[in-house]
Structure 1
Amino acid sequence: MIARLHATSFPKPACAAATWCSPTARRRIPSSRSRCPNVQRLFTKHCSARKARLMRASRVPLAPKPAIINDAETDSPLRTLQLPRTLLTPQMHEVEMALVDPELKGVTPEYVRERLSLFASEMLAGLSSLKAQAPKSLLPNEMDVSISNAAGVCPTHMLAVYSSRPTTTSTSPRKVTLFPTHQLVLAAHCANLPALPASSATHTSGTSATVPVVPLCLPAPEAFPLLQSYLYTKNTENLSSVLFPSTSTPLDKVALQRHMGLIHGLWADACALGVVDEALYEVIQASWRRLVAAVEASRS
């Protein structure tokens, strides 16, 4: 469920600064095989006993390909663009799980991310079957939501995503897009994610809940659906095909510009949120290299 509305103003969360390092010098996130029963208790808050028996570790397909165009690049002729050769991988700082939930103290975020794959199908079923009444003007603090799929897991929060780019005038309405989400998925992957308020949906396995609405400022809101889908599925093959598909014929300039905005927007959002996922940045870098090569070929 994705809803759109216009609001004249709302609280703007603080933006975290990204730090950078070269691909060869970036710090590797330490791995761990630790296990903790608290993790399972947290997960079962979201699932009934019947759902828990149905959990499986198989990967699920990436969400449908979004139509994303970076407005800042759309009108620029390709021959005048100065593309960077690479998109730098940010220096990744690990998530502190105790700040996400006190019950996760001592549990490595890597383990939490591994376990989340068991719940991907149920959580995505909750997102795809969500029903909610979108606000028509002002952004509310909470929203009543429900899911029609009894096998799904109800989202815990509603993100009100908007662009960090300034509006044309101080009185211009700002576009806001609502995205339902499960707190643990974002919190376990995003070191720079602002603290999310408590949600009643975290402690229930029902099909309806009242969830907090959280404003989230991002450099490329258009790319957020793709980023969130990847964090649920971890399907690098599908992500690569969406960012820059393999074709037998060269892409035209409009298509190249579209993929340019998509790749750069995904990278910018991941950096802003502090996403901890080396595979994601590897796919982004590989797709960008293919894009740069295609742009150079189109100029010759």
Structure 2
Amino acid sequence: MFQVASHPTSFTQHGHGHHQAMAVVSPNIQLPRKLARPPLSEISRDAIMAVAPELVNVPAEYIRRGLRPKAHAMLAGISSLSSSHLPTTMPKSHVPSAMSIPTRMSSSSAQPTYPTHVLAIASSKSSANEHVFLFPVHNIVIASQCSSISRLPPSYPPAPGTLHMPVIQMTLPSPAAFKLLHGYLYNHSLESVMKSLFPLPSGFVHGLSHHTVQSTLSSGSSLHQLSSYLCSSSGGSLQALTSHAAHVKELWQDMVTLGIHDPELWDAVDLAWEVILGALSLAAHNH
């Protein structure tokens, strides 16, 4: 089993050693006031060495930046895998050490760059006889963005028409939240992340930029508008809003566990949390 360090239950807020402040929405709902960011940990040079020795002396930020223009070809490689041979889930007890997956013609105009590994992700909150979720990945995408993963096993050279990929079993707090992260590690779309968490005005999320996220975070009136929209679109239901809050928290837990230190994504999570707390507060006052 490939273990990623389990996420700590809480972090010291801003490194000052204070206990994390709680937001009391109603007598039955208490949530952290902030989703604290863990201390920054650098990407392992050993992890880069294992997958791309030629990049071992290149700063991680340059590697990540260099991957962005290649994302289209990588996603084309993922979509070219035959879904009949790569299910989205399988029983944990049936996970092989490697999988051979036929490739099909890609509908993309990009020449596909094929994935190198399959992540078989189980929930750290579930029992042993559960299912895992399978995600094809490119080793350099994981090695350059997930600092908690120290070293991936070697990949196999692609054979014509078939990929032979090592399968890495991992546990994460939320395999469902990793589906969101899996897409983001390639496309870096803040729009996709926010849309997946809860309803927001289409005019706000369409083409959402990091600058808009930051300016919204610093605007009380903008935050209130988004919270009001979310509260009304959820029918003022505390149960629905608490469920949305759980999705944001699960995404945060997976980011912490994997060691993802992407400032744009962290700011988006901060924004989502501010909006959900505001919506819960509005709904609680209306009850």
TM class by shorter chain equals 0.7 to 0.9
Written as runs of structure 1 = structure 2, the 5 A alignment for 1:205-284 is: 207-247=161-201, 248=229, 249-252=232-235, 253=237, 254-284=239-269
Question: Would you say the 8 A contact 1:159–1:179 is kept in 2?
Answer: yes
Q: State the match for 2:22 in structure 1.
A: none
Change (3 A) 1:138 1:205: closer
Tell me, yes or no, if structure 1 residue 125 matches structure 2 residue 76.
yes
Q: State the match for 2:44 in structure 1.
A: 96
Question: Would you say the 8 A contact 1:260–1:291 is kept in 2?
Answer: yes
Give 1:148 shift. Answer: 1.7
Tell me, yes or no, if structure 1 residue 107 matches structure 2 residue 58.
yes
Runs (5+) with no aligned partner, structure 2: 17-24, 202-228
Change (3 A) 1:138 1:111: same
Q: State the Cα deviation string for residues 218-238 of structure 1 (Å, max 9, x = none).
A: 011110010111111111233
- Which amino acid is the alignment partner of residue 88 of structure 1? A
Question: Would you say the 8 A contact 2:46–2:150 is kept in 1?
Answer: no
Q: State the match for 2:124 in structure 1.
A: 164
* CA distance in 2: counterparts of 1:262 and 1:206, whole angstroms: 40
Q: State the match for 1:13 in structure 2.
A: 3
SS at match of 1:91: coil
SS at match of 2:166: strand
Question: Would you say the 8 A contact 2:4–2:149 is kept in 1?
Answer: no
Question: Would you say the 8 A contact 2:173–2:254 is kept in 1?
Answer: yes
* Deviates most, 247-256 or 213-222: 247-256
Q: Using CA pairs below 8 Å that are at least 6 residues apart, which structure has the higher relative contact order?
A: 1
Runs (5+) with no aligned partner, structure 1: 1-10, 26-76
Written as runs of structure 1 = structure 2, the 5 A alignment for 1:8-157 is: 11=1, 13=3, 15=5, 20=11, 22=13, 80-101=28-49, 102-131=53-82, 132-134=85-87, 138-150=94-106, 151-157=111-117
* CA distance in 1: counterparts of 2:56 and 2:124, whole angstroms: 33
Give the CA RMSD over aligned residues: 2.6
Greater fraction helix: 2
Change (3 A) 1:119 1:82: same
Q: State the match for 2:216 in structure 1.
A: none
* CA distance in 1: counterparts of 2:176 and 2:66, whole angstroms: 28
SS at match of 2:94: coil
Moved runs in structure 1, 4+ residues, more than 4 A? 16-25, 133-137, 204-207
* CA distance in 2: counterparts of 1:133 and 1:271, whole angstroms: 28
Give 1:269 shift. Answer: 0.3
Tell me, yes or no, if structure 1 residue 199 matches structure 2 residue 189.
no
Q: State the Cα deviation string for residues 153-193 of structure 1 (Å, max 9, x = none).
A: 221001110011142xxxx6122111111111111001001
- Which amino acid is the alignment partner of residue 15 of structure 1? A
Matched residues, number:
233
Give aligned-pair identity as a percent. Answer: 31
Question: Would you say the 8 A contact 1:97–1:104 is kept in 2?
Answer: no
TM-score by length of 1: 0.70
* CA distance in 1: counterparts of 2:117 and 2:99, whole angstroms: 9
